[in-house]
Structure 1
Amino acid sequence: MGAREAGLPAVVPSRTGLPNQVTIWEVGPRDGLQNEKSIVPVEVKLEFLDRLAGAGLTTLEATSFVHPKWVPQLADAEQLLAGLDRRDGVRYPVLVPNERGLDRALEAGVAHIAIFASATETFAQRNLNSTVDDQFAMFEPVVTRARAEGLEVRGYLSMCFGDPWEGVVPAEQVVKVGKRLLDLGCSQLSLGDTIGVATPGQVEALISGYREAGTEVGALAVHFHDTYGQALSNTLAALRCGVSTVDSSAGGLGGCPYAESATGNLATEDLVWMLDGLGIEHGVNLDALVETSVWMAGRLGRPSPSRVVNALAG
């Protein structure tokens, strides 16, 4: 019997406390596509976004206003947003690196932005040409202006569990930097396992560290890469700690340039399959999502790395 004939996973709610509902923060259109070597036509990106919204996803990270020199794949940000058929009830946040990026976002009529910070010194230097402390001087005017304009601001924090140059990252270091982002005015903090090395115990320890520091778990999200096959187990650990927003990428799109053999982001289909089995609401139609990822894989010229996509579409 094939996977599709077998139907949906058996619903067996966990006896360990879990949220009744999870918000899936879909990063495929931005994080998933940004490292593609061949430029994806804007028409394909727009159809991708429309298909994802049609599958029931309500938060779609659409693009980034990083300078085109650094991310050529997203040089069409203004064109994409101008052509976007926005659906009611769907948010389309964009990544904004600095004040110039914010200017572009405001001109494009964006309502939700995200900033991207580092928990470690080496990555801050390599990715932001800054120190951990000095990055806040860059973020402060962006967040202040955005909030004054009525925009919602999310903070991404990278290298929360391991850094390819510094090794294991102490939880207290991540808590300290993350709290500064929240104190700056970010309404949500996404904890990133940028190179995919985290394990469930680390996840529990970090979230406990935020609790002990006075941070509401509702302000936290998680963003796992699946380099070592731990993304789903880490997500489950975070859910059991009370986190209810999970970042993922349709079809598992996206790689990590800082870790060899990185397989990319947690696949949204894999996440949905697990949530369905746990009886957790998420609002996504799995069949429509799988069809979307198969379609996108065809546009990219290679199969999806998502195990659920391959099982259901095989």
Structure 2
Amino acid sequence: MDYGTTPLHGLPSRVTICEVGPRDGLQNEQAVLPVEVKAEFVARLVDAGHTLIETTSFVPAKWIPQLADAEELLDAITLAPGVRYPVLVPNERGLERALAAGVRDIAVFGSVTETFARRNLNRTVDESLAMFTPVVARAREAGLGVRGYLSMCFGDPWEGEVPVERVVEVATRMMALGCTQLSLGDTIGVATPGRVVAVLDALAAAGIPVDAIAVHFHDTYGQALANTFTALGHGVTTIDASAGGLGGCPYAGSATGNLATEDLLWHLHGLGIETGIDLQKMVDTSIWLAAKLGRPSPSRAVTALGDPLPR
């Protein structure tokens, strides 16, 4: 059923969705899916219209056993023209594996807060940035795009409120490494629109252009779409989301699922914002994947638009 669109002044006409389901989504699932299922998942995302798909992670298997098959998965994927398949790399060893696999886009994962940096990377913030420095430099020399994830930008389960000034400090250092994009993570889903505005305004004042910023909201308190709308109004045009609302963070117990791609699509399409992605195909994909995982999707749009039989 088409309920029409009603554009609002001041919003972008087109948005790129960075689909993080295959990496950020699956890494927190108890089930370890076979590589052929993961490859079909990626193929379904491409068929739905995605052009930016975070595919896997080159981290040691003992850290994220769900993604231990990174090379095998990339071998199983048929690369589509015009589609980017970034992978997460934690260090130079991960970059070497990515380069050997022919990857053209990578991501590094940093933290604003010291506690999460130690829990996630076993390093201080300074030490983690030092670790990323040669990774980003080598990747850029090889012509790769580099996405810099910055977690805990709006709140930390151990440290509480995160000062905006701290976000700006670490964000500017991340960008100075040579990152081509910075994704601001609300890792535990505590942000509300006022804080989103404060962070985006402060980053702009620090000289980070809005077209280099993406946002990555979790929906723990049901605020992900409200925060997304706020970011859109500030000119952000890359939004991270996960098929069916998959995801969380294995190192932050209070981090629930990502913003569901289908919920985001309903929101954007209703505003007349182009994405190039077919909502019904995403709904069908998330129903199919939920069956593979043995549990229903938490996405409201999947529930509303889906049928009981996976396709």
Where do residues 113-152 of structure 1 align in structure 2 (5 Å cutoff)?
A: 113-152=106-145
- Picking from 281, 284, 298, the partner of 2:274 is 281
Relative to structure 1, the CA distance from residue 137 to residue 256 in structure 2 (aligned partners, 3 Å threshold; closer, same or farther) is: closer
Amino acid at match of 1:56: G
Where do residues 199-278 of structure 1 align in structure 2 (5 Å cutoff)?
A: 199-257=192-250, 262-278=255-271
Tell me, yes or no, if structure 1 residue 14 matches structure 2 residue 8: yes
Aligned to 1:4: none
What's the TM-score once normalised by structure 1's chain length? 0.96
What is the rounded CA distance, in whole Å, between the counterparts of 1:38 and 1:252 in structure 2?
16
Amino acid at match of 1:146: A
What is the rounded CA distance, in whole Å, between the counterparts of 2:188 and 2:155 in structure 1?
7
Measure how far apart 1:258 and its partner are.
Answer: 5.4
What is the rounded CA distance, in whole Å, between the counterparts of 1:255 and 1:125 in structure 2?
18
Tell me, yes or no, if structure 1 residue 153 matches structure 2 residue 146: yes
Residues 260-269 or 171-180, more deviating: 260-269
Relative to structure 1, the CA distance from residue 278 to residue 54 in structure 2 (aligned partners, 3 Å threshold; closer, same or farther) is: same
Aligned to 1:14, the other structure's residue is in SS state: coil
Aligned to 1:25, the other structure's residue is in SS state: strand
What's the TM-score once normalised by structure 2's chain length? 0.97
Identical counterparts, % of pairs: 67
Measure how far apart 1:108 and its partner are.
Answer: 0.3
What is the rounded CA distance, in whole Å, between the counterparts of 1:95 and 1:261 in structure 2?
22
Aligned to 2:186: 193
Tell me, yes or no, if structure 1 residue 91 matches structure 2 residue 84: yes
What is the rounded CA distance, in whole Å, between the counterparts of 2:132 and 2:226 in structure 1?
32
Measure how far apart 1:263 and its partner are.
Answer: 3.5
Measure how far apart 1:172 and its partner are.
Answer: 1.0
What is the rounded CA distance, in whole Å, between the counterparts of 1:116 and 1:263 in structure 2?
18
Aligned to 1:43: 36
Aligned to 2:126, the other structure's residue is in SS state: coil
Amino acid at match of 2:6: V
Unaligned runs of 5+ in 2: none
Contact 2:188 2:256 in 1 (8 A): no
Contact 1:164 1:258 in 2 (8 A): no
Measure how far apart 1:259 and its partner are.
Answer: 5.5
Aligned to 2:215, the other structure's residue is in SS state: strand
Q: How many residues align?
A: 307
What is the rounded CA distance, in whole Å, between the counterparts of 2:112 and 2:145 in structure 1?
22
Measure how far apart 1:257 and its partner are.
Answer: 3.9
